[in-house]
Structure 1
Amino acid sequence: MASDDETRTGPTRRAFVTYGGAVAGAGFLAGCTSSGSGGDAATPTESSSGSYSVSMEPVGTVAFDSVPERWAAYDGGYADMAVALGHGDGLTGVGGADRYYTYVYDELPGMGVDRSRIEANPEVRSKEQFYALDSDIHLYDPQMLVNWFDWDQADVDEVASNVAPFVGNLIFRRSDEWHDYPYYTLYEAFEKVAAVFQEQERYRAFERLHDEFIADVQSRLPPAEDRPEVFLTYEGTTEPETFSPYRLDDGGTSKKQWRDLGVTDALAETDIENLSTTNRGELDYENLLEIDPEVILIRGHERKSPTEFRDTVLAYMRDHPAGSELTAVQNGRVYRGGYLYQGPIHNLFLTERAAQQLYPDEFGGVTDDVQLFDRQRVADIAAGDV
């Protein structure tokens, strides 16, 4: 980042710190420099004074004088990471609260987030909001602000210098042309956030739990030739007529559970492009009939129960003259498709649900009282019992 020497007037609880080589009022947290690649650093660099730094693309290296207390996140995935690390109380606001699904915490003993803070600041996207919230760290990819919300680099530099730095990388999909810097897997990004909050032990405990859970589920999967061909799409209405396509092979974190479950992408042998900032193409029922997937996974209905989804979306497709011809519709294999933004806790629940949607004979149905991972263990780790 370029240096920005503008400082806030009046007293501040933050100390003066280094930002891009200049001294500025970015304070409680040191600012960021644009020089380091950031993509390789898995752990923070510490100094004898107790300060430390974390490197993550696209910002580079961010130096901290102490652990951040107040934080804002653009999406539910990064918010979930902070909650998993035991820092839910520091939440100040979310950039896209409509896609931060906190109801999963209700299944975890003693866990939860303050919904009033989210509802008070559900779309933190303007410079004025960043100033007003006065967070200590912004878990945002600043290039997302530039490309989605018409910021420019000067705006990013100003907020990073005068309020707090950015740490984040848009990882839920990998199909945006403007994202020309390295991506991270879910747990690579989670490790960076753990370094920001100095919660490496909690991170490692989650990593162990995740790896054991995935290994157990994968050991019970049917042979590859017996796994279903699926079509993942977005359509938020209860009377769908067109469908935005997702390709499972683009590596984004929003499709992690489907890749872990070894499904075949119904679009694999087609030239249909993944939904992105520039590609907003949609498929109609005639297009879907040409593909005719065994399973259809529809996003945009995560606040519906499985029964509500079947009674609305699937019921409409069954009554549709073309939709009713689809194999997945005839077999009742149309399900909710999971979150766009998922963090480590979300991912455990979504993987469990996906396994039950795709392989109910092995894992139980989504409405059965079958749990594939230990809820108490998740709550214990978030509480610091690692």
Structure 2
Amino acid sequence: MDDNSTGNDGLTRRSYIRYGGTALGAGMLAGCTSDSSGSDETTAAAGTTTEAAAETTTAADTETETDAAEAADSYSVTMEPMGEVTFDSVPESWAAYDGGYADMAVALGVGDGVTGVGGAGRYYTYVYDELPGVSVDREQIEAYPEVRTKEEFYELDNDVHLYDPNMLINWFDWDQADVDEIAENVAPFVGNLIFRRSDGWHDYRYYTLYEAFEKVAQVFQREDRYEAFAALHDEFIAYTLYEAFEKVAQVFQREDRYEAFAALHDEFIADIQSRLPPADERPNVFLTYEGTTEPETFSPYRLNDKGTSKKQWNDLGVTDALTGTDIENLSTTNRGELDYENLLEVDPDVILVRGHERKTAAEFRDTVLAYMEDHPVGGELTAVQNGRVYRGGYLNQGPIHNLFLTERAAKQLFPDEFGEVTGDAELFDRRRVADIVTGEF
């Protein structure tokens, strides 16, 4: 923080660069107020003053040229709720609140700039092990696993914060003055809470995954990678996630990588959807959160919420088992739960349980499913009897996560077409993903 500390004039390192010409101008005016006591002294003083003024003018001209060059290199990214955010240079260091935005940065090839995460427990990085040359510094993340206080923002001194500032206000007792302070003294915020759409305080625009991804690509100036991902995604579904990805790409000025990811994504989703059975032959699903291995109650998620955490299920065209009920989506204000009797009234074809992503498919079956099979009421559920209870995927997912989660979901729901979830069949090209991340595309 020494380089960004505030001096006597209250200027931070960043603002001093911006307002340096003003500081120099004030010094120049102060140098013109000296007194004179005689003609020779006056002449000498005048000569000295003239030389000083010339030097000051040269310095001011140089400063002006520097400011002009910086202005020419600056760029802006617009995203709600922040509005327009201007960057004087491409950010190098960053922190993200959730794994979705962190994954976007990794997808853009700037993962080595991470300094911390707001919720490291839900940032699953093991998927990168399947991508040659792709990694993230997990030790650094674990050193700062819950970056949520102003003190930590000051300590890390990042170039950009991939956070929705209103989330900090509504969840962690910040106020607008705190947000403004960090944005002014450390670095701006660029982010929008997109994993769900059920919080009353979020009364501004939502972004899909790829819209946000594109914004982040713009921030990191990596639009080419975004485009590559978008193309891959369309092969395999362009839905909600990539709109958020686009915003992150804008933040880091990596729109090229965003475009590469978007292209890959679109190809991937198109291929998956072309192989799906007719809509009336697809199962209905109940998506829930229950983190224990012996579940007794279930917190419901609704697929019609359109949050990015449900992207893979919506892309696969499945029906929400709660359709036609008055059951609401889990949110900050709604913490309602269903017991087995409630669930038996719905009796979904498939049950998807979140909160078990550290388990393998086999470990999940041996614990959660085994308990439900032995439960006197749970054992009556159709999904339990048919062994169709699976892990429900990450709450926060980015573009890399989404490819793996969509592949897994396709196997969970349609094993006859895509293979068993415990099998080795790969539905997208790992090497192509790795090449986009490393810039070799």
Normalising by structure 2, what TM-score?
Answer: 0.79
Partner residue in 2 for 1:274: 329
Q: How does 1:291-370 map to 2 (within 5 A)?
A: 291-370=346-425
Q: Name the residue aligned to 1:113.
A: 136
8 Å CA contact 2:276, 2:316 repeated in 1? yes
CA shift at 1:366, angstroms?
1.0
The one-letter amino acid of 2:190's match is: V
| Alignment check: 8 A CA contact 2:268 2:428 kept | yes
Tell me, in whole angstroms, the C-alpha distance in 1 between the residues paired with 2:336 and 2:379: 23
Q: Distance in 1 between matches of 2:18 and 2:411?
A: 51
Separation (CA, whole Å) in 1 of partners of 2:282 and 2:18: 54
The residue that corresponds to 2:91 in the other structure is 68
2:264 aligns to what?
209
SS of corresponding position for 1:67: coil
The answer for the alignment partner of 2:246 in structure 1 is none
Runs of 4+ in 1 over 3 A off after TM superposition: 10-19
Structure 1 residues 222 and 295, CA gap change in structure 2 (3 angstroms) = same
Q: Secondary structure at the match of 1:335?
A: strand
Q: Report whether the alignment pairs 1:127 with 2:150.
A: yes
CA distance in structure 1 between the partners assigned to 2:381 and 2:374 by the alignment: 11
Equivalent residue for 1:148?
A: 171
1 CA distance for matches of 2:202 and 2:5? 31
Question: What's 1:233 paired with?
Answer: 288
Give the drift of 1:18. Answer: 6.3
Flag the structure with more relative contact order, 1 or 2, with Cα contacts below 8 A and sequence separation at least 6: 1
Q: How many angstroms does 1:50 deviate by?
A: 1.3
Aligned match of 1:98: 121
> Percent of aligned positions with the same letter in both sequences?
79
Deviation at 1:8, TM superposition (A): 3.7
* 1:232 partner SS: strand
Among 297, 311, 314, which residue is 1:256 paired with? 311
Per the alignment, residue 3 of structure 1 pairs with none
- Conserved in 1, the CA contact under 8 Å of 2:96 and 2:161? yes
**Deviations 1:13-32, CA, capped at 9 Å, x for gaps:** 6464669xxx99xxxxxxxx
Structure 2 CA distance for aligned equivalents of residues 309 and 181 of structure 1: 38
* Other-structure match for 1:177: 200
Q: Which amino acid aligns with 2:416?
A: D
CA distance in 2, matches of 1:258, 1:159: 37
Q: Count matched residues.
A: 356
Once the two structures are TM-superposed, the CA of residue 346 in structure 1 deviates from its matched residue by 0.3
> Does residue 1:381 correspond to 2:422, yes or no?
no
CA distance in 1, matches of 2:17, 2:401: 35
Indicate yes or no: 2:185 matched with 1:162. yes
Q: How far apart are the structure 2 equivalents of 1:59 and 1:91?
A: 21
RMSD: 1.8
Distance in 1 between residues matched to 2:406 and 2:359, nearest whole Å: 18
TM-score, with length taken from structure 1: 0.90
The letter of the residue matching 2:122 is R
- Corresponding residue number in structure 2 for 1:289: 344
Find 1:265's aligned residue among 313, 320, 323: 320
Structure 1, unpaired ranges of 5+: 1-6, 25-46
Corresponding position: 1:195 with 2:250: no
Residue ranges of structure 2 left out of the alignment (5+ in a row): 24-69, 227-258
CA distance in 1, matches of 2:13, 2:389: 53
How far did residue 160 of structure 1 move?
0.6
Distance 1:173 1:55 in 2: 21
* Paired amino acid for 2:6: T
Q: Deviations over 1:37-94 (max 9, x none)?
A: xxxxxxxxxx971110000000111000000000000000000000000001000000
C-alpha distance in 1 between matches for 2:346 and 2:274: 29
Amino acid corresponding to residue 278 of structure 2 in structure 1: P
Structure 2 counterpart of 1:9: 6
SS of 1:53's partner is strand
Say which SS state the counterpart of residue 201 (structure 1) adopts. Answer: helix
Which letter does structure 2 place at the counterpart of 1:140?
Answer: Y
Q: Are the structure 2 counterparts of residues 142 and 318 from structure 1 closer, same or farther at C-alpha, using a change threshold of 3 Å?
A: same
> Does the 8 Å contact 2:164/2:189 carry over to 1?
yes
Q: Which moved more, 1:354-363 or 1:110-119?
A: 110-119
